[in-house]
Structure 1
């Protein structure tokens, strides 16, 4: 086998973050009766939240804000879009989001099938994620995929964020393997693919909806089951 160790991203690659986040935020929108607080519909709330959350995650990856700022500002800034200022509500929403989100279980199609396949082929399977340690492990346990992985490397444990090389080097050392023997599977060109490429690893760009441009990956797939043709 060309590759001896397989590394996955979690969110948007195996665990369907958008589906699970929508379900969580819909639950919180109803629970906190936001329709009575000046936010006319869940769709308008989610549209604003998504834009702000993406911008804050980008700033977090670049080191401009810390995780606590990310967790609180995404709701504070969203409510300001609707001319709302309620610190207690923001704090409650932030805590509830982190409680509810990891319990959601939607995975991308063929995720379990492919993990079973890789396990049967006796590949050691690992994870590299920028997500928070406790939250990511809960997601994996609730969705039934935690035990497939030999090593789970989060930005917290590694002290580094993708796409920085340090987190990949940390994962390779922990897994007792080399970049030449490893392959990284992820959904974001400038995070998963660029980071793995700069660490010397081959990469699989998972792009089920649309393909980004800027970095040329080793492989591009539209469905996880296409990994069977590579591995």
Structure 2
């Protein structure tokens, strides 16, 4: 049987703490655009902003809903949207142990890949802000390749770019439908980044990045043992 040669990651909510990043950016915009002048409670704005940005849809639509919900001057919509596009990455926060985990996997000679849905410049800016771009042998961003998870083709593209088979790869992601199911159905090993019990599509489940290398090593031992 093939040995494990590559570990492929999702980005948002797997390596990047999207929730904390959104909170930080929402606080920034509340202050930067003096939203207290609209009698908006800061905590409510941060909560609603974070909630609305969890939904995957065009950011222009998200901001239109935020403007309408809080009755903010509509002239701020393009300004706040541009601020998001240009500056959100400054508030990007990685999960604890991120860099150490990647260093450990690289030292063990695993190839590292990433597959992420999103706008190319936006995802790339977040990756660079986290300081992790240089650790990856290949990064596939949906907009750049015209494919989106859970389409198996985007996983196959990553495997091809890394020159490994599905049986030689481990996929780490937070979403069952978009990450775990397609990866498992292609024949990859899977680690679900959640505090949950494993299921038929996940070999392991954990929400601590520092545990990832040992879980990957366990696949190697299984393959070679």
Q: Does 1:217 align with 2:202?
A: yes
Measured on the aligned residues, the alpha-carbon RMSD in Å equals 2.0
Measured in 1, the distance between the counterparts of 2:197 and 2:33 equals: 36
**DSSP-derived class of the 2:53 partner:** helix
Measured in 2, the distance between the counterparts of 1:23 and 1:159 equals: 30
1:14 maps to which residue? 15
How many residues were matched structurally? 215
Deviation at 1:212, TM superposition (A): 8.3
Measured in 2, the distance between the counterparts of 1:214 and 1:183 equals: 16
Deviation at 1:75, TM superposition (A): 1.2
**DSSP-derived class of the 1:138 partner:** helix
8 Å CA contact 2:150, 2:182 repeated in 1 = yes
8 Å CA contact 2:26, 2:45 repeated in 1 = no
Measured in 2, the distance between the counterparts of 1:16 and 1:229 equals: 22
Measured in 2, the distance between the counterparts of 1:49 and 1:106 equals: 17
Deviation at 1:215, TM superposition (A): 5.9
Measured in 1, the distance between the counterparts of 2:98 and 2:54 equals: 24
Pick from 152, 158, 161: which aligns with 1:165? Answer: 152
1:45 maps to which residue? 45
What TM-score, normalized by structure 2, do the two folds share?
0.87
Q: Does 1:230 align with 2:218?
A: no
Pick from 61, 72, 75: which aligns with 2:63? Answer: 75
**4+ residue stretches of structure 1 with deviation over 4 A?**
212-215
Change (3 A) 1:26 1:213: farther
Q: Does 1:130 align with 2:117?
A: yes
**DSSP-derived class of the 1:54 partner:** coil
**DSSP-derived class of the 1:117 partner:** helix
Q: Does 1:92 align with 2:93?
A: no
Pick from 116, 129, 132: which aligns with 1:145? Answer: 132
Change (3 A) 1:29 1:213: farther
8 Å CA contact 1:193, 1:215 repeated in 2 = no
Q: Does 1:121 align with 2:108?
A: yes
8 Å CA contact 1:48, 1:81 repeated in 2 = no
What TM-score, normalized by structure 1, do the two folds share?
0.85
**DSSP-derived class of the 2:184 partner:** helix
